[in-house]
C-alpha cells in the first residue's frame, strides 16, 4: 500500500470516527426557548354509578371461594368534561372517560399545555359531563379529602393568574389533603 | 467497456444452458437480466450496484480483508462484546438511587470512567451503524428469503432488542436526553388502551419519581442482552462455521479508534432531568434519537401507524423478495448412483443442508449416501464444486453439467494457445459488465475483451468444478483466470475459500497435480473492482506468452474419484 493510500485510509477512518462523535452529541431542538408549559395532571375516582346484584347462597356456592362476592356491583364512572381557558381563550374542551375496559377505573387528566412565557390568566374546570348546567356546583370541591375516594369532590375548579418564565413548567394538580386543584412547581 | 468490447465478449462466450453457440459470458445480456452459463441468474439492483461501488472504494483504501463494509455482521458482534465489557465496569459504579449523580461521578473519573463510559456509548452507536449496513447488504443482495428468512427475521428481532437496550441505557443516566426519551416513550405508550393510568404522569413531577422505574430500567438493560445472546444463536443457527468476529487487525483497529475518540472527545452527559423545566435543547445521540423530532411532531397514533407499517414491511421482506416459483433456483440434488458417501459436500456446505444417511433398501453400493435438505439449501452450488465424482449439485449446475458445457464449447470453438478464459463469479467480478454498462466502470471490460479473453461466468466460484479448469486448458486455452468475490464478501459465505483451496491446496475435489499451475491465476475482487481482474488477466496473458506451448490434449479424462473418509483415515494412519 502506498504512503498516499495509507494517509487517505487514516483520514477516512478518522473522519468516520469524528462523524460518529459529532452525531452522538448533536443538539436536539426539543422546545421553543420562549415557551413555558402548564401541565394538568390529576386523578379522580369520580361518582360511581351502577346496579348492584346480590347472588343467592346457592349461586355463591357454585363459585370458587375466591370469587364469592356477596354484592356484585357493576360500577361505572360517568364521564367528565375538562375545560381550560388561558387569557380568556379556550385551549381545552374535552370529554374525559374513566379508564379500564369496563369504564370502572378512575378518571385521569394528563395534559401538557404549551404557553408563551409571561403572565397568564388561567381558568380550569373539571366537572361531570352532560348535566344541564355543566354539573354540580363548583363549591363542592372545597374541603373534600383527595385520599378518601368515596368523598372525592365532584367538581374541580381553579382560576389563577400565573407568571411563567421561559422554559418554566408549572403543574396543576390536586392538593394531597384537600383534593382541590392547586398550582405548584413539579418535584425534581 | 465499449459496446464493441461487450459484443466481442458475447461472441467469445461459452454456450449458455447447454445451447451451443448461445449468448453468455461476463459480457452476456443486458443489465439486470444476465446470468451465468450455469443458469443461476443474478440481477443486481441499483442498491446492490451502489453498494458495490462503495465497497470498491473502501477496498482500494483498506483491502478487502480490512474493508469494514464486508464485515458488518462480525463488527456488530465485536462491538457487542465491547459493550458487555465496558457495561460491567459501569454497572459497578451506577446507583439506582442516584442515577444522574452516579453517572456524573463515572464521567468525572478522568482515567477510567470517562473514557469507558464514552466507549460504551460510541460502541453502541457504531454497532447500530454496523447492524444497519449489515441489514442493507442482505436486503440489497436478496439474501432474505427461503433458508435465509430465519436469519432475516431474527436479525429484525435483534435490532428491536438492541434499540430497547439502548433506550434503557440512555434513560438510566437520567439527564435531559433520558428525560426526553422517557417522556416521548410514555406519550406513545399512553396512546395504547392497556394502561389503567397514564404512564406519562410518572415523569411530570407530580410525585417523586419512583425508584421502581430506575430499577426496571436497570433490570431491562441487563436482562435484555441475555435475550440478544440467545437470539444471536438463532441468527446464525442455519449456517456452518459462522464468522462472529472480524479479522483481529480490523477489530482492534476499530476499538482503538473508538477509544481514541472516547479519550479525546468524551460523550457528553446532559444536565440532570428536571420536570420543572422544559428541555429546550440537549446534546443528543442521533443514532438512537433521530426518530424523536419526527415522532414528537406527530400524534401518537400516527407514530404507531408508521412504526407498525415499517415493522410489517420489514417482516414481510422474506415474502416480498422471494422470486416467483419459476424463477426460484432449485435446491441441490444427489445422484445416489454416483455419490460415494465421502462426506466432502457435507463438510463444504455453508448452510448445513447436506447430511449423510443410509442408502435406500436394495441399494447394493456400500456406505452412506448424501441427502440434501431442500428447506435448508440456498442453491449456492458449492456442493457441485466439492464433489469429485460430480454426484451432487443444483439441477443444471452439477459438475457433470459444467463439464458437458465445456465440451460443447470446445467442440464449437477451440480456444487458441494465447486465449485466456476468465472464470468469474457472476455475483462479483462476473457482474463487471453490468456495473460498467450502468456506471462506466470499464477498465476490466476493455481488458477482458481485448482479444482472446473468453468470459466464463459461474454463479459462485465455489460451485466451479476443478475439472472445468483442467478441461479448458486441455482444450487448448493458454490460461485460466478464476475471479472470485473477496473471501469475506462471498455471497455464498465460503465459496471463495473452498475454491481457492481446491485449486491450490489439494482440498478434496482438487485440481489435479498434472495441471500446470502457471496457467491458472486466482484473483479476488468485488463487482466494483474491474481493474484488479484486468490486471490478473493481463499478467497471465503476459506469462503464458513466455511459456512453451500448452500440452493441449483433446481427449481429457478428468478424475472422477473421490477420497472417502475411510481413505483419509488410512492416509493419516500411514
Q: Is B125 on the interface with A (CB under 8 A)?
A: yes
The x, y and z cell numbers of residue B448, run together, are 477482458
Q: What does the buried/exposed string (b/e) look like for B215-248 if buried means 16 or more CB atoms within 10 Å of the residue's CB?
A: eebbebbeebbeebeebbeebbebbbebeeebee
The x, y and z cell numbers of residue B38, run together, are 450455469
Number of other CB atoms surrounding residue B524 within 10 Å: 27
Q: Is the model more confident about A75 or about A119?
A: A119
The yes-or-no verdict on residue B9 having pLDDT over 70 is no
pLDDT of residue B30: 29
**To which residue does cell 458495490 refer?**
B52
The yes-or-no verdict on residue B45 having pLDDT over 90 is no
Nearest CA in chain A to B265: A21
CA neighbours within 13 Å on the CB side: how many for B279? 29
pLDDT of residue B427: 78
Q: Residue B201: which of A12, A17, A41 has the nearest Cβ?
A: A41
**What band does B6 get if pLDDT is binned at 50, 70 and 90?**
very low
Distance CA A53, CA A75 (A): 11
Q: What percent of chain B has pLDDT over 70?
A: 84
Cβ atoms of B122 and B261 within 8 Å: the answer is: yes
Report pLDDT digits (tens) over A52-68.
Answer: 778 888 888 898 988 88
**To which residue does cell 473471501 refer?**
B487
Cβ atoms of B357 and B368 within 8 Å: the answer is: yes
Residue B530: closest CA among B27, B12, B16: B27
Residue B141: closest CA among B271, B31, B46: B46
- Write down the H helix ranges in B236-291: 248-264, 286-289
Q: Is the model more confident about B539 or about B570?
A: B539
**To which residue does cell 506469462 refer?**
B543
- Cβ neighbors of B460 (< 8 A, separation 6 or more) are B40, B380, B381, B382, B425, B427, B490, B491, B492, B495
Distance CA B197, CA A110 (A): 10
Taking an 8 Å cut-off on Cβ atoms, the answer to whether A27 and B284 are in contact is yes
CB pairs under 8 A between A and B: 136
For residue B61, which residues of chain A lie inside 8 Å, CB to CB? Answer: 5, 8-9, 12
pLDDT of residue B213: 92
β-bridge partners, B483: B424, B523
pLDDT of residue B431: 63
Q: Residue A186: which of B62, B257, B275 has the nearest Cβ?
A: B275
Taking an 8 Å cut-off on Cβ atoms, the answer to whether A186 and B282 are in contact is no
Average pLDDT over residues B367-371: 95
pLDDT of residue A32: 83
- Region of B368 please: left (phi>0), alpha (psi -120 to 50) or beta: beta
Average model confidence (pLDDT) across chain B: 85
Q: What percent of chain B has pLDDT over 90?
A: 67
The yes-or-no verdict on residue B349 having pLDDT over 60 is yes
Average pLDDT over residues B544-560: 63
Q: Is A4 on the interface with B (CB under 8 A)?
A: no
**What band does B123 get if pLDDT is binned at 50, 70 and 90?**
very high
- Taking CA atoms, A95 is separated from A111, A125, A137, B200, B543, in Å, by 13, 12, 18, 19, 87
For residue B268, which residues of chain A lie inside 8 Å, CB to CB? Answer: 25
Average model confidence (pLDDT) across chain A: 83
The yes-or-no verdict on residue B7 having pLDDT over 80 is no
Q: Is the model more confident about B99 or about B279?
A: B99
Taking an 8 Å cut-off on Cβ atoms, the answer to whether B293 and A29 are in contact is yes
Nearest CA in chain A to B255: A17
Sheet strands (E) in B342-385 = 354-357, 369-372
Average pLDDT over residues B246-272: 95
Report pLDDT digits (tens) over A74-90.
Answer: 777 888 999 999 999 99
**What band does B4 get if pLDDT is binned at 50, 70 and 90?**
very low
- Cβ neighbors of B160 (< 8 A, separation 6 or more) are none
For residue A17, which residues of chain B lie inside 8 Å, CB to CB? Answer: 257-258, 260-261
| Burial class of residue B462 in the structure, from the number of CB atoms within 10 Å of its CB (0-12 exposed, 13-18 middle, 19+ buried) | buried
**What band does B116 get if pLDDT is binned at 50, 70 and 90?**
very high
Distance CA B482, CA B15 (A): 18
The yes-or-no verdict on residue B182 having pLDDT over 50 is yes
Binding-face residues of B in 196-235 toward A, CB within 8 A? 196-198, 200-201, 204-208
pTM, rounded to two decimals: 0.84
pLDDT of residue B204: 86
For residue B279, which residues of chain A lie inside 8 Å, CB to CB? Answer: 30-31
Q: Residue B280: which of A30, A100, A185 has the nearest Cβ?
A: A30
Report pLDDT digits (tens) over B208-237.
Answer: 888 899 999 999 999 999 999 999 999 999
Report pLDDT digits (tens) over B463-494.
Answer: 999 999 999 999 999 999 999 999 999 989 99
Task: Please give the span between the terminal C-alpha atoms of chain B, in angstroms, as a whole number.
Answer: 55
Average pLDDT over residues B329-337: 95
pLDDT of residue B31: 27
Q: Is B568 on the interface with A (CB under 8 A)?
A: no
**To which residue does cell 443461476 refer?**
B40
Phi, psi torsion values for B453, nearest 5 degrees = -105, 125
Q: Is the model more confident about B547 or about B4?
A: B547
Taking an 8 Å cut-off on Cβ atoms, the answer to whether A30 and B60 are in contact is no
**To which residue does cell 499478467 refer?**
B539
Q: Is A105 on the interface with B (CB under 8 A)?
A: yes
Q: Residue A17: which of B176, B261, B275 has the nearest Cβ?
A: B261
Q: What percent of chain A has pLDDT over 90?
A: 49
Cβ atoms of B54 and B46 within 8 Å: the answer is: no
Distance CA B502, CA B462 (A): 9
**What band does B561 get if pLDDT is binned at 50, 70 and 90?**
low
Amino acid at each position: 500500500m502506498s504512503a498516499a493510500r495509507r494517509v487517505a485510509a487514516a483520514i477516512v477512518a478518522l473522519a468516520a470516527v469524528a462523524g460518529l462523535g459529532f452525531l452522538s452529541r448533536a443538539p436536539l431542538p426539543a422546545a421553543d426557548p420562549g415557551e413555558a408549559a402548564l401541565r394538568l395532571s390529576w386523578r379522580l375516582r369520580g361518582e360511581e354509578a351502577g346496579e348492584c346484584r346480590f347472588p343467592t347462597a346457592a349461586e355463591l356456592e357454585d363459585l370458587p371461594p375466591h370469587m364469592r362476592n356477596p354484592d356484585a356491583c357493576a360500577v361505572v364512572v360517568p364521564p367528565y368534561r375538562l375545560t381550560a381557558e388561558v387569557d380568556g381563550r379556550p385551549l381545552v374542551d374535552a370529554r374525559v372517560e374513566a379508564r379500564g375496559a369496563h369504564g370502572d377505573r378512575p378518571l385521569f387528566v394528563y395534559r401538557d399545555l404549551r404557553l408563551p412565557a409571561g403572565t397568564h390568566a388561567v381558568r380550569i374546570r373539571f366537572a361531570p359531563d352532560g348535566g344541564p348546567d355543566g354539573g354540580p356546583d363548583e363549591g363542592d370541591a372545597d374541603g373534600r379529602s383527595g385520599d378518601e375516594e368515596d368523598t372525592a369532590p365532584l367538581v374541580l375548579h381553579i382560576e389563577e393568574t400565573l407568571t411563567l418564565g421561559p422554559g418554566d413548567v408549572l403543574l396543576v394538580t390536586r392538593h394531597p389533603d384537600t383534593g382541590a386543584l392547586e398550582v405548584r412547581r413539579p418535584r425534581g | 467497456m465499449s459496446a464493441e468490447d461487450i459484443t466481442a465478449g458475447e461472441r467469445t462466450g461459452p454456450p449458455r444452458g447447454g445451447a451451443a453457440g448461445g449468448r453468455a459470458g461476463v459480457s452476456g445480456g443486458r443489465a439486470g437480466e444476465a446470468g451465468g452459463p450455469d443458469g443461476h441468474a443474478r440481477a443486481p439492483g441499483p442498491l446492490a450496484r451502489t453498494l458495490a461501488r462503495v465497497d470498491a472504494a473502501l477496498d482500494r483504501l483498506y483491502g478487502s480483508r480490512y474493508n469494514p463494509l464486508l464485515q458488518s455482521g462480525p463488527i456488530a458482534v465485536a462491538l457487542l462484546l465491547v459493550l458487555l465489557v465496558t457495561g460491567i465496569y459501569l454497572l459497578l459504579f451506577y446507583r439506582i438511587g442516584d442515577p444522574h449523580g452516579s453517572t456524573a461521578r463515572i464521567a468525572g473519573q478522568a482515567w477510567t470512567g470517562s473514557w469507558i463510559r464514552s466507549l460504551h456509548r460510541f460502541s453502541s452507536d457504531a454497532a447500530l451503524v454496523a447492524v444497519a449496513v449489515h441489514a442493507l447488504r442482505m436486503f440489497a443482495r436478496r439474501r432474505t428469503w427461503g433458508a435465509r428468512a430465519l436469519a432475516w427475521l431474527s436479525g429484525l428481532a435483534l435490532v428491536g432488542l438492541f434499540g430497547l437496550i439502548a433506550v434503557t441505557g440512555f434513560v438510566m443516566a437520567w439527564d435531559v436526553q433520558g428525560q426526553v426519551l422517557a417522556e416521548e416513550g410514555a406519550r406513545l405508550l399512553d396512546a395504547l388502551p392497556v394502561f389503567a393510568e397514564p404512564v406519562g404522569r410518572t415523569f411530570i413531577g407530580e410525585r417523586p419519581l419512583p425508584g421502581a422505574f430506575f430499577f426496571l430500567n436497570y433490570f431491562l438493560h441487563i436482562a435484555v442482552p441475555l435475550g440478544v445472546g440467545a437470539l444471536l444463536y438463532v441468527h446464525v443457527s442455519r449456517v456452518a462455521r459462522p464468522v462472529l468476529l472480524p479479522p483481529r487487525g480490523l477489530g482492534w483497529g476499530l476499538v482503538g479508534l473508538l477509544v481514541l475518540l472516547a479519550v479525546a472527545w468524551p460523550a457528553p452527559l446532559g444536565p440532570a432531568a428536571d420536570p420543572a423545566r422544559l428541555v429546550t435543547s440537549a446534546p443528543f445521540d442521533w443514532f438512537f434519537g433521530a426518530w424523536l423530532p419526527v415522532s414528537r411532531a406527530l400524534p401518537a397514533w400516527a407514530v404507531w401507524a408508521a412504526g407498525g407499517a415499517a415493522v410489517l414491511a420489514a417482516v414481510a421482506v422474506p415474502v416480498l423478495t422471494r422470486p416467483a416459483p419459476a424463477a426460484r433456483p432449485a435446491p441441490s440434488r444427489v445422484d445416489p448412483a454416483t455419490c460415494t458417501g465421502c462426506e466432502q459436500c457435507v463438510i463444504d456446505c455453508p448452510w448445513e443442508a447436506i447430511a449423510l444417511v443410509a442408502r435406500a433398501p436394495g441399494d447394493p453400493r456400500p456406505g452412506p449416501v448424501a441427502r440434501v435438505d431442500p428447506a435448508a439449501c440456498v442453491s449456492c452450488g458449492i456442493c457441485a464444486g466439492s464433489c469429485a465424482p460430480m454426484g451432487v449439485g443444483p439441477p443444471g449446475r452439477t459438475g457433470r453439467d459444467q463439464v458437458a458445457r465445456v465440451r460443447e464449447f470446445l467442440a464449437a470453438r477451440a480456444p487458441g494457445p494465447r486465449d485466456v478464459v476468465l472464470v468469474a463469479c457472476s455475483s462479483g467480478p462476473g457482474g463487471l459488465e453490468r456495473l460498467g454498462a450502468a456506471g462506466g466502470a470499464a477498465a476490466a471490460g476493455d481488458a477482458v475483451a481485448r482479444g482472446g479473453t473468453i468470459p466464463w461466468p459461474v454463479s459462485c466460484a465455489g460451485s466451479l468444478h476443478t475439472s472445468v479448469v483442467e478441461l479448458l486448458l486441455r482444450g487448448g486455452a493458454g490460461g485460466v483466470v478464476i475471479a472470485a468475490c473477496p473471501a469475506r464478501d462471498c455471497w455464498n459465505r465460503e465459496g471463495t475459500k473452498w475454491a481457492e483451496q481446491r485449486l491450490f491446496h489439494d482440498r478434496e475435489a482438487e485440481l489435479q497435480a498434472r495441471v500446470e499451475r502457471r496457467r491458472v491465476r486466482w484473483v479476488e475482487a468485488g463487482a466494483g473492482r474491474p481493474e484488479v481482474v484486468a490486471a490478473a488477466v493481463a499478467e497471465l496473458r503476459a506469462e503464458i506468452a513466455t511459456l512453451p506451448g500448452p500440452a493441449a490434449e483433446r481427449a481429457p479424462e478428468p478424475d472422477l474419484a473421490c477420497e472417502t473418509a475411510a481413505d483419509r483415515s488410512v492416509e493419516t494412519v500411514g
